[in-house]
Amino acid sequence: MQRIVFPKNFLWGVATSSYQIEGAWKEDGKGESIWDRFTHIPGKIANGDTGDVACDHYHLYREDVKLLKELGVKTYRLSISWPRVFPEGKGSPNKAGMEFYINLIKLLVDNGIKPAVTLYHWDLPQKLQDIGGWANKAVIDYYEQYAEYVFKELGSMVPIWITHNEPWVVSFEGNWQGVIAPGITDFSTALLVSHNLLVSHGRAVRLYRKMGFKGEIGITLNLVPMYPASQSEEDIEAAKRGDGFYNRWFLDPIFKGAYPSDMLEWYSQRVVVPEITREDLEIINTPIDFLGVNYYSSGHVKAEPGIWPLDAINVPTGRDKTDSGWEINPQGLYDLLVRLHKDYKGIKIMITENGAAFNDIINREGNIEDDCRLDYLYRHFVEAHRAIQDGVNLKGYYVWSFLDNFEWADGYTKRFGLVYVDYATQKRILKRSGRWYREVIKNNGF
Ligand code: IFM
């Protein structure tokens, strides 16, 4: 077996997000988020689960940082809960909420772990949803005010910033499919939300630079390489639309200063497309230091007239699947990275999420021998390494996730962690994949 060695200083990490692990949903002055509201509506989440307690990280963060240290990660990606810091979304900050993040980040820094902080990982203050949420341009101003306060408080300690996590999911799952908060089902609203999210991203990047910090700032996109199901002209065109929908709709304005014209035309013929000004595009096109890539699976697209919104469907290829039902395609990661490198001029990339849900079982010795997850990570690491060998500027890799946690509409039914969480007792157990990852980090390869 060939030895895989990553470049020196490669940033190995793990990732989480505020709502998925913190709990303490109404403690120390925290305001209600759209996820607090959504999860309390019967029928929205598997088993009626909520993030009210989650992994209780708000109270157990000291123990969790110890675990991170034991894992040996170089960096830890977390997100800030906006309503913990601004209960109303705007106005006066809640000092106690900010204090939690100051303490957590100080502890990480003291332990030699680089914090990577996401400003927005889906938990919008409900008060802002009450005025239209991301479909209301005023929310961009409030986001900028929130970002300014967070930069001021944490900017000197945090070297890596991410403006948004997965704006595709926020826009389309939250505002068209309605399967996540805020649960709206209108395609034009989803498009408007996607545009406003991108403008807010550009505004935060400009603000960060204006405030004079020396760290790096980027955005995290969930990207899905799209393959045609056959070599027919129709399937090739359908896969191109799939690529436009998931990938280029976000990548092109950020890196090229323009939305893809084929998608603009496609949408304008079918729905109301948001007004897009030259100034908006310039803001979105503000240079960033890195692109965060979340990769889980690939798409295999077949033309299917009449299927909204792309006249296309995704077809199974027969590959193995994770517990989330997502096909496992490590080579898709390689293809995606190489394509990003080529189409977006050698941009610096960090994999900000990659990982898998599997049904973990505690054995008679109290261990979790999660071979499937280990194998998933192994095969994706091999492909990431191959991409680096082929010239891709990949600098870091965050496994999703550090802990088992609240998996949105799936509640606690899907476990992604390197660390098992017994939700009844809040006991943490490092899984075999976690023990293996610790060795990968130590050896900078395997
Ligand atoms: O749990 C999520 C995370 O919040 C965003 N990216 C995908 C993960 C797995 O579904």
Q: Is 49 in the pocket of ligand 1 (CB under 6 A)?
A: no
What's the chain's average pLDDT? 98
- What's the whole-number mean pLDDT along residues 258-285? 98
Q: Tens of pLDDT along 176-207?
A: 999 999 999 999 999 999 999 999 999 999 99
Name the helix (H) or strand (E) containing 12.
strand 11-15
pLDDT at residue 156, as a whole number: 98
**DSSP element (H, E) containing 422:** strand 419-422
Q: How many residues comprise the chain? A: 446
Instruction: Determine which residue's CA is closest to atom 2 belonging to ligand 1.
Output: 407
What single DSSP character describes residue 158? -
How far does residue 407's CA lie from ligand 1's centre (Å)?
A: 7
Q: How far away, in angstroms, is 298 Cα from ligand 1 center?
A: 15
* C-beta neighbour count of 277 within 10 angstroms: 10
Residue type, 323: D
Å from CA of 358 to ligand 1 middle = 14
| Nearest ligand 1 atom to alpha carbon 400 | 8
CA distance 346 to 326: 29
Do 33 and 126 form a contact (C-beta atoms < 8 A)? yes
CA of 45 to the centre of ligand 1 (A): 15
Distance CA 215, CA 105 (A): 15
Q: Which residues lie closer than 8 Å to 269 by C-beta, 6 or more apart?
A: none
Ligand 1 atom index nearest CA of 416: 9
Tell which residue, 210, 214, 344, 345, has the closest CA to residue 283: 210
**Nearest atom within ligand 1 for CA of residue 121:** 4
Q: And the tokens for 263?
A: 């998608």
- The residue whose C-alpha atom lies closest to atom 9 belonging to ligand 1 is 407
Q: What is the DSSP string of 173-210?
A: IHHTS-SSTT----HHHHHHHHHHHHHHHHHHHHHHHH
365 Cα: distance to centroid of ligand 1 (angstroms): 30
CB of 353 closer than 6 angstroms to any ligand 1 atom: yes
- The contacts of residue 127 (CB under 8 Å, 6+ apart) are 31, 32, 83, 87, 88, 89, 90
- Which conformational region is residue 112 in: left (phi greater than 0), alpha (psi within -120 to 50 degrees), or beta? left
Q: Is 17 in the pocket of ligand 1 (CB under 6 A)?
A: yes
d(CA 39, CA 10): 38
> What's the one-letter identity of residue 202?
G
**Is pLDDT of 416 > 90?**
yes
- What is the C-alpha separation between 64 and 388, in angstroms, rounded? 31
Would you please indicate which residues are annotated as catalytic (active-site) residues? 166, 353
* Residue 338: both structure tokens together: 């190489």
Confidence (pLDDT) at 2: 82
- Counting from 1 in the atom list of ligand 1, the atom nearest the Cα of 355 is 9
Comparing C-alpha atoms, which of 312, 314, 317 is closest to residue 238?
312
Q: What's the CA dihedral at 257, 190, 19, 283 to 10 degrees?
A: 20
**So what's the pLDDT on residue 196?**
99
For the CA of 20, the closest atom of ligand 1 is: 4
Angle, CA 84 vertex, CA 13 and CA 94 arms, to 5° = 125
Taking CA atoms only, the protein residue closest to ligand 1 atom 4 is 17
**229-267, pLDDT tens digit by residue?**
999 999 999 999 999 999 999 999 999 999 999 999 999
Single-letter code of the amino acid located at 234: E
Return the residue whose CA atom lies nearest to atom 10 of ligand 1. 407
For residue 408, how far is its CA from the centre of ligand 1 (angstroms)? 8
Instruction: With a cut of 90, say whether residue 1 has pLDDT above it.
Output: no
Q: In angstroms, rounded to a whole number, what is the distance separating the alpha carbons of residues 446 and 440?
A: 6
Please state the atom number of ligand 1 nearest to the C-alpha of residue 407.
Answer: 1
- Residues 446, 3: Cα–Cα separation, whole Å: 6
Neighbours of 321 (CB within 10 A): 13
**Dist. CA 70 → ligand 1 center (Å):** 24
CA distances from 418 to 210, 328, 339 (A): 38, 18, 29
CA of 212 to the centre of ligand 1 (A): 31
Pocket test for ligand 1, best of 166, 323, 324, 354 (most atoms within 8 A of CB): 166
Three-state secondary structure call for residue 264: helix
Phi, psi angles (nearest 5°) of residue 119: -75, -35
Q: Which of 220, 408, 412, 415 to mutate to test the pocket of ligand 1 (most atoms within 8 A of CB)?
A: 408
Whether ligand 1 lies within 6 angstroms of the CB of 166 is answered as yes
Which pLDDT band, with edges at 50, 70 and 90, does 438 fall under? very high
Distances (CA, A) of 332 to 115, 298, 304, 321, 392: 28, 6, 23, 14, 14
Question: What pLDDT digit, counting tens, does each position of 67-104 carry?
Answer: 999 999 999 999 999 999 999 999 999 999 999 999 99
The token pair at 34 is 């759209």
The CB of 64 under 6 Å from ligand 1? The reply is no
- The structure tokens listed for 330 are 């490590």
Q: Would you state the pLDDT for residue 140? A: 99
For 334-392, write each residue's pLDDT tens digit. 999 999 999 999 999 999 999 999 999 999 999 999 999 999 999 999 999 999 999 99
400 lines ligand 1 (CB under 6 A): yes
Identify the burial level of 29 via C-beta atoms within 10 angstroms of its C-beta, where 0-12 means exposed, 13-18 middle and 19 or more buried.
middle
- Mutation pick for ligand 1 pocket among 353, 358, 410, 412 (CB with most ligand atoms within 8 Å): 353
Residue 171 has pLDDT above 90, yes or no: yes
> Which amino acid is located at 258 in the chain?
A
Are 373 and 355 spatial neighbours (Cβ–Cβ below 8 Å)? Answer: yes
Secondary element (H or E) of residue 396: strand 394-400
Distance 295 CA to ligand 1 centre (A): 10
Decide whether any atom of ligand 1 lies within 6 Å of the 323 Cβ: no
